Chains A and B, each alone.
Chain A
């Protein structure tokens, strides 16, 4: 695999990893903007804008966009996160020119008012869909409780109210400010020719406006402490989400954080699995590491019967105390590293996997990370590195939010002091 990079005069960046034996090519337009870049008044605009990008341009209607993608058999989609909006497609190599033509065109959308008004309903439908999924709701509220007022806690979808209130011109203003060339990277991986690619991207995107989008408030946060109970009587399982500070996306402790999260809470053979899932005390219990620009979080999430929730809170706390005090064993370290290495290799076998990986590495590090670079970085994690990680990010106490039928739940070690559903963060 050969890596190339280029910057156009207007600041747009292009990166590519050529893999001549691949059967497809994947292309992504990474826009460095997300929920954290919104002010409260336009909550949800980034995600709504992501939808509107597919709704047409001066030379394409929404139906034209969809037809043109389907005509080339593209596998395509987009996503919006706290800090990135990514538009991507996987196609057979001979269709790369057409895919680029469509993607570059739609990244300058018309944002027509009729389309805006109809698509508003689709966003509200999406919000409704997630409202009916308690685990998602628990996670979203927990994230807000942990991070806010830090902008990473901003809601990605917004609310039905904030979306209804949104005006087309507000979206257009946001687009003009944020979708500028220096804030966008075109990422390609798989079977393609670099020089041809650069020529095509240059033809399509050289006219895009330059400008500085920037980002406010990239400080690290250690998170807001708290133990919150959200009662929803009709929900069946009790969902418990816990968060704590963790390294940021460019930290040299990020690989150790991944390894630690895997050892604590991967879905097989982890501490949480043995402590809660294997004995049937929870139907799911896992740990993860989410990293962002400037800050990061560890997350533990548990789903269980309401009657078991209090004991599970104690079990998780004991488990985490043990990790904080004595770290993980050499055997657990090896096990986690072996699992991660296998996933990296398999993930690299599809151009779409490589495109997402190199795109994210470029976004957060400004660097190319080959498969071997990543394998080496994980291989280099030792118990000492994990120890250093735990010293800087001690995990406990975790900010907790529980959502389910329970009206009260006590924080660990405080069996007399149950918390009621009063302290619900807005």
Chain B
């Protein structure tokens, strides 16, 4: 399958990536701006989140209502989200509307109004977003897990803190915008039924004049405590487990991803089979691989009624440790089949492709071709995966539980 991936670096450090997909009518855009929550000042945690909302409330010639209406009228399904490194702006619509969408996003990114009178409503939303975590125990446990497992500030949750949000002013938000919304390290990826030359020319026209600022260096500090229990009267106990793996740029990456898929890639995988199918301990149990720049980890989750929580934790940890003892050829066959399917079916989705392009560029400095990934999948063997696990055995677990009673965790 030959797809052409095109790229163009603007002199100011912004990167444009594109993949032409002829069999679709739509196109997706994806901006990664290096303005994530790791850059929130320590006394103002939640800045990036508040800025991501404020930035859509009017830009260029358009006030908030006109901006919303114009984006809606070109049928742009869209969202903004804040991660550790980036604030992400994503949208998808009919390919014919893409140039208009890009023009509007140029205004949003380069000429937002950041209206001071909107700061209070935005802060109110940020408070409620934070508060409503108390009503979402699974989300909460996963956030607490990341905060304890990853070095700070990489483990931060974008929602910030009550004090941080409270402290924000229009001036602080505007300062953050001016410091971090700039082209050096900004990635724009586009996938769909687009023409490359007009796209490249338009992006040059819209963004070439954007002034870069030097990126800020962030020094991570080691994570906090390994095991905590959060007390709450709930029907289920939430369990989060994390351990170190390798980053995506590492040569062991595919073996690491495959190991996680042996644990949790499909319903015949180990965790689902042992914890749910055979013992009926959970409805939801899974493991996933999470990458940050220079770091990779495996995160596991299980939700289980309180009386069975200890057994669930013990069985899950048992499965994590057992993995390095051996993996069957059949298990790897199934992992390969799942990865190959996912790789091919991703070609159906413009937004999935736009996301992949940007993510590859950020983590690897290049976009992996379909053939390269296919070859890596074909190259997976039980020996390669077990040998990776001997180098990086699941251990030194960070464990966070949430429920009425704490659990016994291994020392």
User: Within 8 Å CB of B75, what residues of A?
Assistant: 338-339, 341-343
User: Within 8 Å CB of A62, what residues of B?
Assistant: 277
Q: Is A71 on the interface with B (CB-CB < 8 A)?
A: yes
Whether B77 and A343, one on each chain, are in contact in the complex, defined by CB atoms closer than 8 angstroms, is yes
Whether A237 and B124, one on each chain, are in contact in the complex, defined by CB atoms closer than 8 angstroms, is no
What sequence of 0s and 1s flags, for each residue 45-66 of chain B, a beta carbon within 8 Å of any chain A beta carbon?
A: 0000000000000000000110
Whether A279 and B267, one on each chain, are in contact in the complex, defined by CB atoms closer than 8 angstroms, is no
In chain B between 82 and 139, which residues have their CB closer than 8 angstroms to a CB of chain A?
A: 92-94, 120-125, 128-129, 131-132, 134-138
- Once the chains are docked, how many angstroms separate the CA of A349 from the CA of B350? 9
Q: Is B278 on the interface with A (CB-CB < 8 A)?
A: yes
In chain A between 14 and 32, which residues have their CB closer than 8 angstroms to a CB of chain B?
A: 21-24
Whether A24 and B345, one on each chain, are in contact in the complex, defined by CB atoms closer than 8 angstroms, is yes
Nearest-Cβ distance from residue B341 to partner chain A, whole angstroms:
3
User: Within 8 Å CB of A342, what residues of B?
Assistant: 26, 74-77, 92-94
User: Within 8 Å CB of A67, what residues of B?
Assistant: 268, 330, 334
Q: Looking at chain B, what size class is its interface with the partner chain? A: 35 or more
In chain B between 14 and 29, which residues have their CB closer than 8 angstroms to a CB of chain A?
A: 23-26
- Once the chains are docked, how many angstroms separate the CA of A305 from the CA of B24? 43
- Once the chains are docked, how many angstroms separate the CA of A128 from the CA of B267? 21
Nearest-neighbor residue (CB-CB) of B302 within chain A: A125
Whether A70 and B234, one on each chain, are in contact in the complex, defined by CB atoms closer than 8 angstroms, is no
In chain A between 332 and 357, which residues have their CB closer than 8 angstroms to a CB of chain B?
A: 334-335, 338-339, 341-343, 345-346, 349-351
Of B26, B135, B344, which is within 8 A of A237 by CB?
A: B135
What sequence of 0s and 1s flags, for each residue 280-309 of chain A, a beta carbon within 8 Å of any chain B beta carbon?
A: 111100000000000000000001110000
Of A75, A135, A236, A349, which is within 8 A of B134 by CB?
A: A236
Q: Given A71-B337, A343-B77, verify A350-B348 contact (CB < 8 Å).
A: yes
Q: Is A2 on the interface with B (CB-CB < 8 A)?
A: no
Whether B94 and A129, one on each chain, are in contact in the complex, defined by CB atoms closer than 8 angstroms, is no
Whether B235 and A63, one on each chain, are in contact in the complex, defined by CB atoms closer than 8 angstroms, is no
Q: Given A118-B278, A342-B75, verify A132-B265 contact (CB < 8 Å).
A: no
Nearest-Cβ distance from residue A309 to partner chain B, whole angstroms:
12
Q: Is B68 on the interface with A (CB-CB < 8 A)?
A: yes
- Once the chains are docked, how many angstroms separate the CA of A186 from the CA of B278? 30
- Once the chains are docked, how many angstroms separate the CA of A21 from the CA of B22? 10
Q: Is B69 on the interface with A (CB-CB < 8 A)?
A: yes
Nearest-Cβ distance from residue A51 to partner chain B, whole angstroms:
10
Q: Given A66-B267, A122-B282, A283-B125, verify A339-B72 contact (CB < 8 Å).
A: yes
Of B123, B125, B283, B337, which is within 8 A of A125 by CB?
A: B283
Q: Is A124 on the interface with B (CB-CB < 8 A)?
A: yes
Q: Is B182 on the interface with A (CB-CB < 8 A)?
A: no
Q: Is B333 on the interface with A (CB-CB < 8 A)?
A: yes
By Cβ-Cβ distance, the 3 closest A-B pairs, closest first, are A342-B75, A280-B124, A121-B280
Whether B337 and A63, one on each chain, are in contact in the complex, defined by CB atoms closer than 8 angstroms, is no
Whether A269 and B68, one on each chain, are in contact in the complex, defined by CB atoms closer than 8 angstroms, is yes
In chain A between 125 and 159, which residues have their CB closer than 8 angstroms to a CB of chain B?
A: 125-126, 128-129, 131-135
Q: Is A426 on the interface with B (CB-CB < 8 A)?
A: no
Q: Is A120 on the interface with B (CB-CB < 8 A)?
A: yes
Nearest-neighbor residue (CB-CB) of A91 within chain B: B341
CB-defined A-B contacts under 8 Å, sample of 14 = A62-B277, A66-B273, A67-B334, A118-B280, A121-B280, A128-B303, A132-B137, A133-B136, A269-B65, A269-B68, A269-B72, A278-B64, A283-B125, A345-B94
User: Within 8 Å CB of B138, what residues of A?
Assistant: 129
Nearest-Cβ distance from residue A222 to partner chain B, whole angstroms:
32
- Once the chains are docked, how many angstroms separate the CA of A267 from the CA of B25? 24
User: Within 8 Å CB of B340, what residues of A?
Assistant: 73, 92
Whether B25 and A349, one on each chain, are in contact in the complex, defined by CB atoms closer than 8 angstroms, is yes
Nearest-Cβ distance from residue A321 to partner chain B, whole angstroms:
22
Q: Is A119 on the interface with B (CB-CB < 8 A)?
A: yes
- Once the chains are docked, how many angstroms separate the CA of A128 from the CA of B279? 17
Whether B92 and A281, one on each chain, are in contact in the complex, defined by CB atoms closer than 8 angstroms, is no
Whether A63 and B268, one on each chain, are in contact in the complex, defined by CB atoms closer than 8 angstroms, is yes
Q: Is A398 on the interface with B (CB-CB < 8 A)?
A: no
What sequence of 0s and 1s flags, for each residue 77-96 of chain A, a beta carbon within 8 Å of any chain B beta carbon?
A: 00000000000001110000
Whether A132 and B234, one on each chain, are in contact in the complex, defined by CB atoms closer than 8 angstroms, is yes
The number of chain A residues with a CB under 8 A from chain B is 64
- Seed contacts A73-B337, A268-B72; 7 additional CB < 8 Å A-B pairs: A66-B268, A70-B266, A92-B340, A120-B280, A128-B235, A135-B135, A342-B77
User: Within 8 Å CB of B348, what residues of A?
Assistant: 22-24, 349-351
In chain B between 228 and 286, which residues have their CB closer than 8 angstroms to a CB of chain A?
A: 232-236, 265-269, 272-273, 276-284
Nearest-Cβ distance from residue A240 to partner chain B, whole angstroms:
14
Whether B341 and A129, one on each chain, are in contact in the complex, defined by CB atoms closer than 8 angstroms, is no
Q: Is B186 on the interface with A (CB-CB < 8 A)?
A: no
- Once the chains are docked, how many angstroms separate the CA of A342 from the CA of B344? 24
User: Within 8 Å CB of A335, what residues of B?
Assistant: 69, 72-73
What sequence of 0s and 1s flags, for each residue 233-273 of chain A, a beta carbon within 8 Å of any chain B beta carbon?
A: 01111000000000000000000000000000000110000
Of A69, A279, A280, A343, which is within 8 A of B266 by CB?
A: A69
- Once the chains are docked, how many angstroms separate the CA of A119 from the CA of B283? 10
Nearest-Cβ distance from residue B111 to partner chain A, whole angstroms:
20
Of A70, A125, A234, which is within 8 A of B305 by CB?
A: A125
- Once the chains are docked, how many angstroms separate the CA of A345 from the CA of B134? 37
User: Within 8 Å CB of B268, what residues of A?
Assistant: 63, 66-67, 69-70
- Once the chains are docked, how many angstroms separate the CA of A118 from the CA of B266? 20
Q: Is A49 on the interface with B (CB-CB < 8 A)?
A: no
User: Within 8 Å CB of B279, what residues of A?
Assistant: 118
Nearest-neighbor residue (CB-CB) of A54 within chain B: B267
Q: Is B166 on the interface with A (CB-CB < 8 A)?
A: no
Q: Given A236-B134, A335-B72, A346-B77, verify A71-B123 contact (CB < 8 Å).
A: no
Q: Is A364 on the interface with B (CB-CB < 8 A)?
A: no
- Once the chains are docked, how many angstroms separate the CA of A333 from the CA of B228? 52
- Once the chains are docked, how many angstroms separate the CA of A201 from the CA of B337? 24
- Once the chains are docked, how many angstroms separate the CA of A63 from the CA of B278? 9
User: Within 8 Å CB of A269, what residues of B?
Assistant: 65, 68-69, 71-72
Of A129, A135, A331, A346, which is within 8 A of B26 by CB?
A: A346
Nearest-neighbor residue (CB-CB) of A119 within chain B: B280
Q: Is B204 on the interface with A (CB-CB < 8 A)?
A: no
Of A118, A234, A237, A334, which is within 8 A of B128 by CB?
A: A237
Q: Is B11 on the interface with A (CB-CB < 8 A)?
A: no
Q: Is B349 on the interface with A (CB-CB < 8 A)?
A: yes
